[in-house]
Amino acid sequence: MNDVFPPAHVSANEAGLSPMRVLLLDDDVFMLDVLSDMFDQLGQFDLRCEASSAQALTTLRQHQPDLLICDLSMPDMDGIEFLRLAADSGFRGGVVLLSGLHSAVRTAAERLAQANGLHILGTFRKPMESAELQLMINLQRQYTTRLSAAQG
Protein backbone atom coordinates (compact mmCIF):
# COMPACT_ATOMS: atom_id res chain seq x y z
CA MET A 1 0.00 0.00 0.00
CA ASN A 2 1.31 3.43 -0.90
CA ASP A 3 1.41 5.59 2.25
CA VAL A 4 1.84 8.85 0.33
CA PHE A 5 -1.79 8.99 -0.80
CA PRO A 6 -4.96 8.44 1.16
CA PRO A 7 -7.06 5.41 0.24
CA ALA A 8 -9.65 6.09 -2.45
CA HIS A 9 -12.43 6.36 0.16
CA VAL A 10 -10.63 9.14 2.07
CA SER A 11 -11.21 12.62 0.68
CA ALA A 12 -8.37 15.04 0.06
CA ASN A 13 -9.61 17.32 2.85
CA GLU A 14 -9.71 14.46 5.37
CA ALA A 15 -6.09 13.68 4.51
CA GLY A 16 -5.07 17.34 4.96
CA LEU A 17 -4.59 18.00 1.23
CA SER A 18 -6.29 20.63 -0.87
CA PRO A 19 -8.70 19.16 -3.43
CA MET A 20 -7.23 18.36 -6.83
CA ARG A 21 -8.26 20.95 -9.43
CA VAL A 22 -9.81 19.25 -12.46
CA LEU A 23 -11.05 20.54 -15.81
CA LEU A 24 -13.39 18.35 -17.86
CA LEU A 25 -13.79 19.22 -21.54
CA ASP A 26 -16.39 17.47 -23.67
CA ASP A 27 -18.98 18.87 -26.05
CA ASP A 28 -21.38 16.13 -24.87
CA VAL A 29 -23.09 17.53 -21.76
CA PHE A 30 -24.29 14.04 -20.81
CA MET A 31 -20.67 12.81 -20.77
CA LEU A 32 -19.71 15.78 -18.57
CA ASP A 33 -22.50 14.79 -16.16
CA VAL A 34 -21.32 11.16 -16.11
CA LEU A 35 -17.72 12.19 -15.40
CA SER A 36 -18.82 14.70 -12.75
CA ASP A 37 -20.83 11.99 -11.01
CA MET A 38 -17.81 9.67 -11.11
CA PHE A 39 -15.65 12.36 -9.49
CA ASP A 40 -18.32 12.94 -6.83
CA GLN A 41 -18.15 9.25 -5.92
CA LEU A 42 -14.33 9.31 -5.71
CA GLY A 43 -13.93 12.16 -3.23
CA GLN A 44 -13.67 15.94 -3.14
CA PHE A 45 -12.35 17.75 -6.19
CA ASP A 46 -12.32 21.34 -7.39
CA LEU A 47 -14.12 20.44 -10.62
CA ARG A 48 -14.86 22.64 -13.63
CA CYS A 49 -16.79 21.41 -16.68
CA GLU A 50 -16.71 22.99 -20.12
CA ALA A 51 -18.55 22.03 -23.31
CA SER A 52 -16.73 24.63 -25.43
CA SER A 53 -13.03 24.43 -26.28
CA ALA A 54 -12.70 28.21 -26.44
CA GLN A 55 -14.24 28.61 -22.98
CA ALA A 56 -12.11 25.72 -21.70
CA LEU A 57 -8.93 27.59 -22.71
CA THR A 58 -10.04 30.55 -20.56
CA THR A 59 -10.90 28.22 -17.69
CA LEU A 60 -7.55 26.47 -18.10
CA ARG A 61 -5.68 29.76 -17.62
CA GLN A 62 -7.85 30.97 -14.73
CA HIS A 63 -8.41 27.67 -12.86
CA GLN A 64 -4.92 26.18 -13.48
CA PRO A 65 -6.09 22.58 -13.07
CA ASP A 66 -3.87 19.75 -11.92
CA LEU A 67 -5.75 17.38 -14.21
CA LEU A 68 -7.34 17.91 -17.63
CA ILE A 69 -9.70 15.32 -19.07
CA CYS A 70 -10.27 16.15 -22.71
CA ASP A 71 -12.45 14.73 -25.47
CA LEU A 72 -10.71 14.60 -28.85
CA SER A 73 -13.76 15.17 -31.10
CA MET A 74 -15.43 18.52 -30.61
CA PRO A 75 -17.24 20.75 -33.10
CA ASP A 76 -15.66 24.11 -32.28
CA MET A 77 -12.02 22.96 -32.09
CA ASP A 78 -10.62 19.45 -32.21
CA GLY A 79 -8.84 18.05 -29.18
CA ILE A 80 -5.44 18.12 -30.86
CA GLU A 81 -5.66 21.86 -31.52
CA PHE A 82 -6.97 22.45 -28.00
CA LEU A 83 -4.06 20.51 -26.52
CA ARG A 84 -1.54 22.44 -28.63
CA LEU A 85 -3.00 25.71 -27.36
CA ALA A 86 -3.02 24.37 -23.79
CA ALA A 87 0.68 23.52 -24.11
CA ASP A 88 1.40 26.93 -25.63
CA SER A 89 -0.32 28.58 -22.65
CA GLY A 90 2.03 26.77 -20.27
CA PHE A 91 -0.29 24.05 -18.97
CA ARG A 92 1.81 21.53 -17.00
CA GLY A 93 -0.81 19.34 -15.34
CA GLY A 94 -1.71 15.79 -16.23
CA VAL A 95 -3.85 15.04 -19.28
CA VAL A 96 -6.29 12.23 -19.89
CA LEU A 97 -7.58 11.87 -23.43
CA LEU A 98 -11.04 10.46 -24.17
CA SER A 99 -12.52 9.52 -27.49
CA GLY A 100 -14.97 7.20 -29.13
CA LEU A 101 -12.66 7.16 -32.15
CA HIS A 102 -10.49 4.21 -33.17
CA SER A 103 -7.53 3.36 -30.93
CA ALA A 104 -5.07 4.38 -33.67
CA VAL A 105 -6.51 7.92 -33.59
CA ARG A 106 -6.25 8.01 -29.79
CA THR A 107 -2.63 6.81 -29.95
CA ALA A 108 -1.72 9.41 -32.59
CA ALA A 109 -3.35 12.15 -30.49
CA GLU A 110 -1.40 10.99 -27.43
CA ARG A 111 1.90 11.17 -29.34
CA LEU A 112 1.13 14.63 -30.71
CA ALA A 113 0.23 15.90 -27.24
CA GLN A 114 3.47 14.48 -25.82
CA ALA A 115 5.40 16.10 -28.67
CA ASN A 116 3.88 19.42 -27.54
CA GLY A 117 5.32 18.85 -24.07
CA LEU A 118 2.14 17.73 -22.31
CA HIS A 119 2.18 15.08 -19.58
CA ILE A 120 -0.25 12.40 -20.80
CA LEU A 121 -1.48 10.11 -18.05
CA GLY A 122 -3.62 7.93 -20.29
CA THR A 123 -5.86 7.61 -23.31
CA PHE A 124 -9.25 5.91 -23.06
CA ARG A 125 -12.24 4.97 -25.13
CA LYS A 126 -15.47 6.67 -24.07
CA PRO A 127 -17.09 6.10 -21.72
CA MET A 128 -14.29 5.91 -19.18
CA GLU A 129 -14.77 3.49 -16.29
CA SER A 130 -14.61 4.53 -12.66
CA ALA A 131 -11.60 2.29 -11.94
CA GLU A 132 -9.72 3.89 -14.86
CA LEU A 133 -10.55 7.35 -13.54
CA GLN A 134 -9.34 6.42 -10.04
CA LEU A 135 -6.07 5.17 -11.54
CA MET A 136 -5.58 8.44 -13.44
CA ILE A 137 -6.27 10.47 -10.28
CA ASN A 138 -3.69 8.43 -8.38
CA LEU A 139 -1.14 8.82 -11.18
CA GLN A 140 -1.67 12.59 -11.16
CA ARG A 141 -1.21 12.72 -7.39
CA GLN A 142 2.06 10.80 -7.73
CA TYR A 143 3.20 13.10 -10.55
CA THR A 144 2.37 16.21 -8.49
CA THR A 145 4.26 14.81 -5.49
CA ARG A 146 7.34 14.10 -7.64
CA LEU A 147 7.23 17.61 -9.13
CA SER A 148 6.94 19.17 -5.67
CA ALA A 149 9.85 17.10 -4.35
CA ALA A 150 12.01 18.03 -7.36
CA GLN A 151 11.24 21.74 -6.92
CA GLY A 152 11.64 21.72 -3.12
Residue 43: CB partners within 8 Å, gap ≥ 6? 8, 9, 10, 11, 12, 19
pTM of the model: 0.86
Per-residue model confidence (pLDDT) at position 90: 92
Cβ-in-10-Å burial (0-12, 13-18, 19+) of 75 comes to: exposed
Q: What is the pLDDT along the chain (152 residues), one digit of tens a residue?
A: 333 333 444 444 444 568 999 999 999 999 999 999 999 999 999 999 999 999 999 999 999 999 999 999 888 888 889 999 999 999 999 999 999 888 888 999 999 999 999 999 999 999 899 999 999 999 999 998 888 888 87
